[in-house]
């Protein structure tokens, strides 16, 4: 038997396992300015661990009758806090999901089924989205037997609403805007998109998976954030990820309907089997209460003041980064972050080579393909040191790329 076998013959005691896990974490940065992995401080880690592990470990199943009753007040309070943050009206309904892909899937499914209820028959529903919208809508369309039309964005990377209207026809059931979209961090003109949806009598979904728990607090700080949520007439549903700027552990998002009556189109109900009726408002059937409990703890722990402070730090880091990059020779800022996403590119050397050099220095930035640029997902460091560290690494990486030390073959590309 190989001596480097990973699976142990005999079980290993927890103290040794705990130390091994901490050793894995030693290479992590204390604060990050990129990626989707949030910097949970010691207190944050302890409360998440307690809530998700020690207190709530049990599963929840399809309906409340199959689950321990303790999880549902926690679930309901998370949903209520989400509605308060994103400004949902009375009569709205929030579904807790496993991520933005499920949230956007549910919006797509609900729009399709509502349209089919109004116009039965054998026809293929269509979706109109900006080219910059998340691929989860294409995945949903693939699974749901729908056709999707991606419309090229404007020169400023925002949705081209006039071109989107040209793509609408009698089969269109859903149009989408993002707040912000992921590739460039731009907030689409949601009021125009929602007005277009109202004009044609179709569903308008806002994908605020990135910005749902950041934009409301930036607006409170006085930043010029356009209306993007239910304060816009015509917006039918909003998705928002708790595991992004909500700072909760990965694996929890939300989908909120303006009108809870539309839940009947979102639900999956089945009774043609021996065990009777099964109802599910989300995609999964069984799961665990751990992430819901962890989200509850984080939302309560940070509160309004904590999320506002996070937004202030993100805005500050965004400013320091953009100002620092603009001062560098041979680098062009494409998007100054308006919602935590910053885009820039070198103009005198290979983008991928710079990204690879940054990766070697511990900064795993993503390469955006259109336009070819470096994409930063900005976190909330406590001061300017993290941004200055990145800028120093960028200066060195630019020189490395110009000297030919890196080819760019190992740069991170998108999500793969």
DSSP-derived 3-state class of residue 47: helix
Residue with tokens 């839940």: 263
**CATH code, domain with 295:** 3.40.640.10
Of 193, 287, 201, which is closest to residue 232 (Cα–Cα)?
193
Instruction: Determine whether 356 is exposed, middle or buried from the number of CB atoms within 10 Å of its CB (0-12, 13-18, 19+).
Output: buried
Domain membership of residue 68 as a residue range: 51-299
Domain assignment present for 18: no
Tens digit of pLDDT for each residue in 253-301?
A: 999 999 999 999 999 988 898 988 888 888 887 777 788 888 888 888 8
Q: Is the pTM of this model over 0.85?
A: yes
**CATH code, domain with 371:** 3.90.1150.10
For residue 337, pLDDT over 60 is answered with yes
Domain assignment present for 250: yes
Domain assignment present for 17: no
Q: Model confidence at 175, in pLDDT bands (50, 70, 90)?
A: very high
pLDDT at 40: 46
For residue 50, pLDDT over 70 is answered with no
| DSSP secondary structure of 153-183 | PPTTSS--HHHHHHH--TTEEEEEEESS-TT
pLDDT at 60: 57
Average pLDDT, the chain: 89
- The beta-carbon contacts of 326-331 under 8 Å, at least 24 apart in sequence, are 328/394, 328/395, 328/398, 330/398, 331/394, 331/398
**More reliable by pLDDT, 69 or 219:** 219
Domain assignment present for 359: yes
Q: Which of 299, 317, 349 is the last residue of a domain?
A: 299
In total, how many domains does the chain have? 2
For residue 416, pLDDT over 50 is answered with no
Q: Which of 299, 319, 344 is the last residue of a domain?
A: 299
pLDDT at 36: 40
Tens digit of pLDDT for each residue in 198-214?
A: 999 999 999 999 999 99
Q: Which residues, other chains included, contact 357 with Cβ-Cβ below 8 Å and sequence gap of 6+? A: 396, 397, 398, 400, 401, 405, 406
User: How far apart, in whole angstroms, are the C-alpha atoms of residue 377 and residue 414?
Assistant: 12
* Angle, vertex CA 158, rays to CA 154 and CA 164, nearest 5: 70
Q: At what angle do helices 290-326 and 42-49 cross, to 10 degrees?
A: 160
Domain assignment present for 37: no
Q: Are residues 224 and 326 in the same domain?
A: no
User: How far apart, in whole angstroms, are the C-alpha atoms of residue 97 and residue 119?
Assistant: 29
Domain assignment present for 334: yes
Cα radius of gyration (the chain): 23
Q: Are residues 347 and 364 in the same domain?
A: yes
Q: Are residues 327 and 245 in the same domain?
A: no
| DSSP secondary structure of 258-294 | SSGGGHHHH-EEE--STT--EEESSS-S-EESHHHHH
Q: Are residues 248 and 339 in the same domain?
A: no
Backbone phi, psi, residue 174, to 5° = -155, 135
Q: Give the HSE-up count for residue 235: Cα atoms under 13 Å, Cβ half-sphere.
A: 28
- In contact, 374 and 380? CB cutoff 8 Å: no
Which of 7-11, 55-59, 88-92 reaches the highest mean pLDDT? 88-92
Of 233, 234, 281, 230, which is closest to residue 113 (Cα–Cα)?
281
User: How far apart, in whole angstroms, are the C-alpha atoms of residue 154 and residue 147?
Assistant: 23
Q: Max Cα separation, the chain?
A: 70
- In contact, 125 and 96? CB cutoff 8 Å: no
Q: Model confidence at 38, in pLDDT bands (50, 70, 90)?
A: very low
Q: Model confidence at 35, in pLDDT bands (50, 70, 90)?
A: very low
Q: Are residues 140 and 220 in the same domain?
A: yes
Q: What is the sign of the dihedral through the CA atoms of 45, 251, 92 and 133? A: positive
Q: Are residues 405 and 330 in the same domain?
A: yes
pLDDT at 79: 95
- In contact, 227 and 191? CB cutoff 8 Å: yes
* Angle, vertex CA 285, rays to CA 283 and CA 287, nearest 5: 105
Residue 120 corresponds to which tokens in the numbers above? 């039965």
Q: Which residues, other chains included, contact 19 with Cβ-Cβ below 8 Å and sequence gap of 6+? A: none
pLDDT at 411: 78
Q: Are residues 103 and 89 in the same domain?
A: yes
Q: Give the HSE-up count for residue 72: Cα atoms under 13 Å, Cβ half-sphere.
A: 10
Q: Which of 251, 271, 299 is the last residue of a domain?
A: 299
Give the rounded distance of the alpha carbon of 230 from its chain centre. 18
């Amino acid at each position: 038997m190989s001596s480097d076998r990973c699976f142990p013959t005999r079980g290993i005691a927890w103290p040794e396992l705990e130390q091994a896990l901490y050793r894995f974490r030693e290479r992590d940065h204390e604060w990050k300015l990129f990626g989707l992995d949030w910097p949970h401080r010691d207190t944050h880690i302890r409360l998440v661990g307690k809530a998700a592990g020690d207190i709530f470990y049990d599963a929840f199943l399809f309906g409340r009758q199959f689950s321990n009753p303790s999880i549902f007040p926690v679930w309901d309070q998370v949903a209520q806090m989400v509605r308060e943050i994103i400004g949902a009206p009375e009569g709205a309904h929030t579904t807790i999901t496993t991520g933005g892909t499920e949230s956007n899937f549910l919006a797509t499914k609900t729009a399709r089924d509502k349209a089919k209820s109004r116009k039965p028959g054998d026809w293929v529903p269509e979706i109109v989205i900006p080219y910059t919208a998340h691929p989860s809508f294409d995945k949903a369309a693939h699974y749901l037997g729908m056709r999707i039309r991606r419309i090229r964005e404007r020169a400023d990377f925002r949705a081209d609403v006039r071109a989107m209207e040209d793509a609408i026809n009698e089969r269109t059931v859903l149009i989408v805007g993002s707040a912000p979209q992921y590739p460039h961090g731009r907030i689409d003109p949601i009021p125009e998109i929602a007005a277009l949806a109202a004009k044609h009598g179709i569903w308008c979904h806002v994908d605020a998976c990135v910005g749902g728990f950041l934009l409301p607090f930036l607006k409170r700080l006085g930043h010029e954030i356009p209306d993007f949520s239910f304060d816009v007439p015509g917006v039918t549903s909003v998705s928002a990820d708790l595991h992004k700027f909500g700072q909760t552990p990965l694996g929890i998002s939300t989908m909120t309907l303006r009108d809870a009556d539309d839940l009947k189109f979102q639900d999956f109900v089945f009774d043609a089997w021996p065990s009777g009726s099964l109802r599910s408002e989300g995609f999964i059937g069984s799961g665990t209460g751990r992430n819901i409990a962890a989200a509850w703890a984080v939302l309560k722990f940070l509160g309004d003041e904590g999320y506002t402070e996070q937004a202030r730090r993100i805005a500050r880091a965004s400013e320091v980064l953009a100002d620092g990059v603009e001062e560098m020779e041979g680098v062009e800022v494409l998007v100054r972050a308006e919602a935590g996403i910053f885009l820039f590119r070198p103009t005198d050397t290979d983008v991928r080579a710079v990204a690879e050099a940054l990766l070697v220095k511990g900064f795993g930035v993503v390469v955006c393909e259109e336009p070819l640029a470096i994409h930063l997902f900005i976190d909330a460091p406590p001061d300017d040191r993290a941004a200055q560290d990145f800028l120093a690494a960028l200066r060195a990486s630019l020189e490395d790329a110009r000297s030919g030390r890196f080819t760019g073959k190992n740069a991170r590309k998108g999500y793969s």
